[in-house]
Amino acid sequence: MMRRLEAAVVAFPAGLLGRTALAACAGISMLATLAHPARAQDGERGKLVYEQWCSQCHGLQGDGTGPAAQRMLTRPRDFTRGLFQIRTTAGGEIPTDEDILHVINVGMPGTTMPAWEALLPEGDRQALVAYVKSFYPPFATLPAPVPLTLSSGGRASDDRIAEGRLFYDSIQCWQCHGQAGRGDGPGAAELDDEWGNPIRAADLTQSWMFNGGSTADDIYRRLRTGLDGTPMPSFSDLLNAGFMTDDQLWSLSHYVRSLSPADPPQVQEVIQVERAARFVEVPRLASDERWDEVEAFYVPLVGQIITGDRAFDPAVTSVWVQGIHDGTELAIRVTWSDRSKSPDPTWQQLWQPRVLAALEPKGLGREPGARPDRLSIQFPAVIPEGMDRPYFLMGDSDTPVNLWQWRSDQTRPQRATGRGVNDITTTGPGILTSDAQWVNGQWQVVFRRDFEPNNAETELRFELGRPVPMAFFVWDGDSGEDGTRGAISTWYFLNLEEETPVSTYIAPFLAFLITGALGLLAITRARRRDRESAIGGTPAAATAASTS
């Protein structure tokens, strides 16, 4: 209330003097600071907190060019243009104070912006709101932002999700987000934000990475408000134009939500490998339908930032791992979202040079080029006793690791021994085989090998029930990744389930049969004894009785 009054009072003489809105605002903030010591204090607090916690990414001037900014592909926001992604206000409108506070509180999933609610006292967060707004002076003179009146969407149902898909097609969401929602649409390679930085279309199958939250409500709000500063427009006009109803927009939101798991994936340290049904080979192909029945384990990845050419913002942020064995042979399928089947000429031309130009570290002789997508699975050379494991970054000279390497430009995999990132020796595929498919922005790669290795001295031998340390490396070639520039995981354990599952199911049945047979035998014997003592029976009669 008070604030609006000030704006009105100062705007009047400003108009008389023929000043622009911008100049007027500078005046207002100065006057306000002088007139209200309390607010001046607020401002000082906000500045202090901002410079301590926010400026490294968002810059001292609020222009999004802090020292860390160039290591992020989703760049820290430049506040000086008053463009905010996550709002409750219409497209192009400034956000409410609550909108800004909300983002400070909960952070922005899928980006480096953390949630500050538990880290900073509320007063500091409030002071930050005011300070962030001060980077865009028109906040002081623009009419107070009015949140959109948003309906509530009801429950998702199969019908609504199917209806949502129809609109996903007719609106052409797939132009950027792709047919299966993995951000691999025909227009995705060329996207940039308002500041000219390359930006990835959201992978709609990973709702836990959505910048503005993962619920259908969040998705509906983003469709109504757009994500200002990004290519994602507001679709509110579709309602006004009668193209679709509000209810149908909700169906679309439910559809988008349905592309991700109901709950965010949980990390489990042990990846269980199921035993295949008896006398059935483990799956050879990435597309084998049996994989659909096997539990998938979520493995988050981070950029390799320890050594060499670092990957501060890798393209691949997680993989899903499944395994099947048959007692002598092991198949592992790794599945991950990747917007392009590298090397893809379109992405190589429209995406890769921009990423390499935008992301630190630059140079290092890294030119755009045809790079494949790559996957490496890492095991120790022998199953370690206790918890000692080789250095997770491809081993070291004392404790080497085994690597199973796959790349999209070759049909056969490679085995390799790693003694550190710069000391990797490949030894050909041996008995290791692989199969891969890329469909709608997703790689599925299967490795297959006997428990017994080619060379028992240098390679790991798998054993039932003995967990094996395992780690993952993934590179997206069209994002310019290779060598030490890629995504890595920490150690996990791979556990080959023992035969117990089979015997567990069969034993009760066998026990039942044996008990039944013994029972019958006892009865028969008893009867025979009766008959023998009475009449004197024949062996043939006894046989007939026992088989009936």
Q: In the complex, which residues of this chain contact another protein (CB under 8 A)?
A: 17-23, 81-83, 91-94, 142, 170-172, 175-176, 186-187, 190-192, 194, 226, 228, 231-235, 237-238, 241, 243, 350
Over the Cα atoms of the chain, what is R_g?
A: 32
Q: Name the residue nearer to another protein (CB basis): 196 or 516.
A: 196
With vertex at residue 409, the alpha carbon angle to CA 374 and CA 421, rounded to the nearest 5 degrees, is: 35
SS3 21: helix
Helix (H) or strand (E) holding 474: strand 468-475
How many Cα neighbours within 13 Å face the side chain of 368? Answer: 18
Between residues 7 and 474, which has the closer beta carbon with respect to another protein? 7
Cα dihedral 15, 19, 21, 24 sign: negative
Task: Return d(Cα 253, Cα 249) in angstroms, integer.
Answer: 6
State how beta strands 270-275 and 318-325 pair.
parallel
CA distance 442 to 318: 12
Encoded tokens for 353: 């040079």
142 versus 180: smaller Cβ distance to another protein: 142
- Nearer to another protein by Cβ, of 23 and 506: the residue is 23
CB of 237 to another protein, least distance (A): 5
Q: How far is the CB of 199 from another protein (least distance, A)?
A: 9
Helix (H) or strand (E) holding 111: none
Q: How far is the CB of 160 from another protein (least distance, A)?
A: 20
Query: Closest distance between another protein and the C-beta of residue 22, in Å?
Result: 7
The per-residue DSSP string of 408-438 comes to TT-SS-EEEEESSTT-EEE---TT-EEEEEE
Burial of 248 (0-12, 13-18, 19+ CB in 10 A): middle
Q: How far is the CB of 354 from another protein (least distance, A)?
A: 11
Residue 504's Cβ-count burial label (10 Å; 0-12, 13-18, 19+) is exposed
Closest to another protein by CB, 68 vs 90, is 90
Closest CA to 447 of 478, 492, 416, 406: 406
- Least CB distance from residue 221 to another protein, whole Å? 14
Q: Quote the least distance from Cβ 109 to another protein, whole Å.
A: 22
Nearer to another protein, 84 or 492 (CB): 84
Quick check: helix, strand or coil at residue 56? helix
Minimum distance of another protein from residue 65's CB (angstroms): 17
**What letter would DSSP give residue 477?**
G
Nearer to another protein, 242 or 536 (CB): 242
CA separation, residue 4 to residues 10, 87, 133, 142 (Å): 10, 21, 15, 10
**Least spacing, CB of residue 91 vs another protein, in Å:** 6
Closest to another protein by CB, 125 or 177: 177
Q: Between the CA of residue 547 and those of 443, 510, 521, 528, what are the distances in Å?
A: 56, 17, 10, 14
Task: Decide: helix, strand or coil at residue 105.
Answer: helix
- Minimum distance from CB of 230 to another protein (Å)? 8
Query: Could you tell me the two tokens for 244?
Result: 């679709």
CB of 185 to another protein, least distance (A): 9
For another protein, the closer of residues 80 and 490 by Cβ is 80
Kind and range of the H or E element at 94?
A: none
H or E element, residue 122: helix 122-134
Nearest to 132 by CA among 65, 35, 47, 75: 47
Q: How far is the CB of 480 from another protein (least distance, A)?
A: 19
Q: Which is nearer to another protein, 13 or 186 (CB)?
A: 186
Q: Are 417 and 405 in contact (CB under 8 A)?
A: no
Nearest to 228 by CA among 356, 114, 136, 126: 136
Min. distance of Cβ 143 from another protein in angstroms?
Answer: 11
> In terms of CB distance, is 91 or 372 closer to another protein?
91
User: In b/e form, how buried is each residue of 79-115, taking b as 16+ CB within 10 angstroms?
Assistant: bebbbbbbbbbbbebbbbeebbbbbbebbbbbbbbee
Identity of the residue, 20 or 266, whose beta carbon is nearer to another protein in the bound complex: 20
DSSP 384: P
State which amino acid sits at residue 181: G
187 versus 467: smaller Cβ distance to another protein: 187
Residue 175: CB minimum distance to another protein, A: 5
User: Which of 129, 189 has the CB closer to another protein?
Assistant: 189
Question: What element of type H or E holds 350?
Answer: helix 345-350
